[in-house]
Amino acid sequence: MNLIFLGPPGAGKGTQAKKITEKYGYPQISTGDILRQAVKDKTEMGLKAKSFMDQGKLVPDEVVIGIINDRLHDADCKKGFILDGFPRTVAQAEALGILLDKLGTKIHTVLDLAVEEDELVKRLTGRRTCKKCGMGYHILFTPPAKEGVCGKCGGELYQRDDDNEGTVKKRFQVYREQSEQLGGYYSKTGRYKKLDGTAGIDEVFGKIEEIIGAA
């Protein structure tokens, strides 16, 4: 099962992708996570991507397409994969189509999570992530038992640099201008589902399971 998660920043793509990975074992491929790691490691790619990310802009297509090309060739993707945060432009979606043809596979379901911007601002400014295992939290909605400490592995929680209100607004603008149209792009394939992402995490997951179970 090959899945794509679409939706604005904070819609719950990473949260839901992690739940699918946990239950079904398909690897979660987050271009945002891969880029943040590259920034942390100060690789050539990370140094190139950092200023785009800090400003809430998209990293150039060729960089993220290169990331996905490498990652989808890994053996663990043969059993299926979940794309979280890619594609974000039509050019990326077209490049993905060509790559999947070459690999002899396809996307089975595209899940587009819809959430209003006011709610997204609350989600993003309260988001915290474990430095060690990547587990996601929210200071109000899903707080850890002990403040600042991951309940799963004991790692330290951090707030992403781009989750401040100013950068968040820019990311919404970029989403509306460059990514939102992907809903229209994939709806033509008959494998596209838009779903309400405002319900609780488990309720959204239940809907996703219904959809992927029927696919």
Both tokens assigned to 97: 């189509």
Structure tokens at 10: 């904070």
Active site residue 88: yes
Beginning with the edge strand found earlier in the chain, give each strand of the sheet holding 157-158 in spatial order.
136-138, 127-130, 157-158
Q: Hey, which residues between 65 and 84 contact ligand AMP (CB under 6 A)?
A: none
Q: Which of 19, 36, 128, 171 is catalytic?
A: 171
Q: How far is the CB of 16 from ligand ADP (least distance, A)?
A: 7
Question: Does 88 help bind ligand AMP (rule: CB under 6 A)?
Answer: yes
Is 146 a residue of the active site? no
Q: Which of 36, 50, 127, 128 is catalytic?
A: 127
Nearer to ligand AMP, 162 or 208 (CB): 162
Name the segment binding ligand AMP (CB under 6 A); options: 85-93, 133-141, 144-152, 200-208: 85-93
Of 45 and 111, CB closest to ligand ADP: 111
Q: Does 15 sit near ligand AMP (CB under 6 A)?
A: no
Tell me if residue 13 is catalytic.
yes
User: Which one of 20-28, 37-45, 58-66, 150-158 is the stretch in contact with ligand AMP (CB under 6 A)?
Assistant: 58-66
Binder of ligand AMP out of 64, 82, 113, 120 (CB under 6 A): 64
Q: Which of 18, 48, 71, 160 is catalytic?
A: 160
> What's CA 111's distance to the chain center, in Å?
11
Instruction: Please report, as ranges, the residues that interact with ligand ADP according to CB under 6 A.
Output: 7, 9-15, 123, 126-127, 136-138, 141-142, 200-201, 204
Q: Is 127 a catalytic residue?
A: yes
Structure tokens at 155: 């790692």
Stretch that binds ligand AMP, among 52-60, 72-80, 133-141, 144-152 (CB under 6 A): 52-60
The token pair at 47 is 């140094």
* DSSP labels, 77-134: GGG-EEEES---SHHHHHHHHHHHHHHT----EEEEEE--HHHHHHHHHTEEEETTT-
8 Å CB contact between 142 and 180: no
Q: Which of 133, 140, 176, 177 is nearest to 156 (CA)?
A: 133
- HSE of 159, CA atoms in CB hemisphere, 13 A: 15
